[in-house]
């Protein structure tokens, strides 16, 4: 790494390319290749998320990519919200299609006509599904790999319930799932109810997870929407209750994208490169044999390295032995840059002492007894996670400040709390005057605190503000 992390934007672009996260040279704007190190970390992350969804009763399905125009347009606000960003398939072979097909920007309009078929009676609830797919948005803004692009790898959960109360419980379940998910990535967040003008098109309200990046901007890294019965009315998702009376279903939807990796890279990385949380690193421990002065010594080291590898693999740890021709120092540099959380060094002296050396990517080296290898490795992972988490929490806390005036908003960086009259006009003016500081919303489920609007001075509510990606 030639670029220090203090130069965050350039550092990010360098590290995602050097570490093999993405390659942006594919000739369609905003459609990078997710190369194997990056896609491996994304898949590990998503496997954690998918497991959390399965445990809470969401069944994994796969719905089509393409939506006929009439289905897509049925929910008026929804199409208004996405209309300008939709890619359309209009041609099949050399023929023009009779109905053009939207390439999904999200799957409400694909799934809900099916929900209407599946839901008949009150016994059909809850209906909880999820899928991991790519979605498409014809972005006109500048793209940034993993952050903003035209092809987004994500997981979306969609559920339907009998009534408002059950939908509200689902919202809390979603918050819990995403909180557990981000805990395994050691990423603190703010979960905020977005202002009405910024909610998901067609939703009653939207909650979004914001993660603070090192440049002081926040990254929206997951969303949870209460759709009430808005879509149910459009797509006729109705059921008979115990008395035979008809009601509309209440729905929720959650989404989380490959941005989770952008956040992990941004928050945890350092001047040497990435630091991946153990749960999502494609390789959790890299073994580096340190050759001896004599061939015999080196042979013993190699044999021991293989033994250590087998032992860790047997314990379900993702481990790799680097027996390339490079010098140990070069190997250190390479795997540090890629963010492997733990390095295990084995040299002739270690063998003599029945020890191996653990070097944590978050800092610190310690010799451990070979007999305690698996246990010590697991402890090291826990320590790394804790170190990352504490550091990230401290950074976040240090960058949340109270802004009492427009000047505070203009001069500070990070996340601000400041009063807002809940009028979009004021929010827009603040954004223009501060060069981007915008209302991110209110804490969910907390009593709202009164505060004078930072722009107009009228009565208002304490809100969260930040520049955002």
- Residues in the site for a second copy, rule: CB under 8 A? 23, 25-28, 31-36, 39-40, 42-43, 59-66, 68, 71, 83-94, 100-101, 103, 110, 113-114, 117, 129, 133-134, 136, 138, 151, 153
Residues 6+ apart with CB under 8 A from 207: 171, 175, 191, 192, 193, 194, 223, 224, 225, 441, 444
Give the residue with the Cβ less far from a second copy, 60 or 353.
Answer: 60
Nearer to a second copy, 45 or 434 (CB): 45
CA-closest candidate to residue 153, choices 79, 243, 237, 259: 259
- For the bound state, the minimum distance from the C-beta of residue 150 to a second copy, rounded and expressed in Å, comes to 8
Nearer to a second copy, 146 or 207 (CB): 146
- Residue 178 C-beta: closest distance to a second copy, Å: 21
User: Quick one: 50 or 422, whose CB is closer to a second copy?
Assistant: 50
Q: Which is nearer to a second copy, 101 or 415 (CB)?
A: 101
Do you find a cis peptide bond into 126, omega within 30 degrees of 0? Answer: yes
The Cα–Cα gap between 272 and 338 comes to: 9
Sort strands 250-257 and 365-369 into parallel, antiparallel or unpaired: unpaired
Would you say 72 or 161 has its CB closer to a second copy?
72
User: Least CB distance from residue 276 to a second copy, whole Å?
Assistant: 16
DSSP 93: T
Nearer to a second copy, 40 or 277 (CB): 40
- Work out how close the CB of 4 gets to a second copy at its nearest, in angstroms, rounded to a whole number: 27
Rounded CA-CA distance 162/125 in Å is 7
* Listed residue (209, 266, 267, 260) closest to 392, CA to CA: 267
Specify the pairing of strand 342-346 against strand 355-360: antiparallel
Min dist. Cβ of residue 64 to a second copy (A): 4
181, 209, 206, 289: which is closest to 469 by C-alpha?
A: 209
Cα–Cα distance for residue pair 392/388, rounded to 1 Å: 6
C-beta of 27 vs 329, nearer to a second copy: 27
Q: Closest approach of Cβ 242 to a second copy, in Å?
A: 16
Answer yes or no: are the C-beta atoms of 361 and 343 closer than 8 Å. yes
Cβ 420 vs Cβ 403: under 8 Å: no
Residue 61 CB, nearest approach to a second copy (Å): 5
**Cα–Cα distance, 458 to 442 (Å, whole number):** 18
CB of 88 to a second copy, least distance (A): 4
**246 strand-pairing partners:** 240
């Amino acid at each position: 790494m030639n670029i220090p992390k203090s130069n965050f934007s350039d550092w990010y672009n360098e590290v995602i390319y050097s570490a093999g996260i993405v390659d942006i040279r594919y000739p369609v704007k905003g459609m990078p290749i997710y190369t194997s190190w990056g896609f491996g970390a994304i898949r590990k992350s998503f496997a954690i998320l998918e497991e959390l969804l399965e445990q809470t009763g969401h069944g994994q399905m796969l719905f089509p990519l393409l939506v006929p125009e009439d289905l897509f347009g049925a929910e008026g606000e929804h199409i208004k919200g996405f209309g300008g960003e939709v890619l359309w398939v209009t041609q099949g072979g050399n023929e023009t299609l009779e109905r053009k097909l939207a390439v999904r920007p999200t799957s409400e309009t694909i799934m809900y006509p099916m929900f209407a078929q599946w839901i008949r009676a009150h016994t059909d609830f809850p209906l909880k599904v999820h899928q991991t797919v790519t979605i498409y948005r014809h972005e006109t803004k500048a793209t940034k790999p993993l952050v903003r692009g035209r092809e987004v790898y994500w997981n979306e959960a969609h559920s339907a319930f009998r009534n408002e109360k059950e939908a509200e419980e689902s919202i809390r379940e979603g918050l819990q799932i995403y909180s557990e998910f981000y805990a395994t990535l050691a990423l603190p967040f703010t979960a905020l109810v977005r202002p009405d003008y910024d909610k998901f098109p067609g939703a009653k309200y939207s909650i979004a997870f914001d993660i603070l990046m090192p440049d002081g901007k926040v990254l929206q890294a997951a969303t949870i929407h209460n759709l009430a019965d808005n879509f149910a009315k459009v797509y006729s998702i109705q059921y008979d209750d115990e008395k035979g009376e008809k009601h509309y279903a209440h729905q929720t939807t959650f989404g989380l994208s490959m941005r989770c990796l952008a956040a992990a890279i941004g928050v945890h990385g350092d001047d040497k490169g990435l630091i991946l949380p153990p749960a999502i690193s494609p390789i959790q421990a890299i073994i580096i044999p340190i050759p001896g002065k004599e061939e015999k010594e080196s042979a013993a080291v190699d044999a021991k390295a293989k033994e250590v590898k087998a032992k860790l693999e047997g314990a379900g740890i993702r481990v790799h032995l680097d027996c390339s021709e490079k010098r140990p120092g070069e190997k250190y540099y390479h795997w540090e840059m890629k963010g492997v959380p733990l390095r295990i060094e084995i040299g002739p002296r270690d063998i003599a002492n029945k020890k191996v050396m653990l070097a944590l990517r978050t800092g610190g080296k310690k010799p451990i007894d070979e007999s305690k290898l698996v246990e010590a490795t697991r402890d090291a992972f826990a320590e790394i996670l804790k170190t990352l988490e504490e550091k990230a929490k401290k950074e976040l806390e240090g960058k949340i400040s109270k802004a009492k005036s427009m000047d505070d908003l203009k001069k500070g960086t990070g996340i601000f709390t400041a009063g807002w009259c809940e009028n979009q006009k004021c929010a827009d003016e603040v954004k223009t005057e501060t060069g981007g500081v915008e209302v991110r919303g209110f804490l969910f489920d907390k009593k709202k605190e009164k505060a004078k609007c930072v722009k107009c001075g009228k009565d208002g509510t304490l809100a969260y503000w930040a520049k955002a990606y």
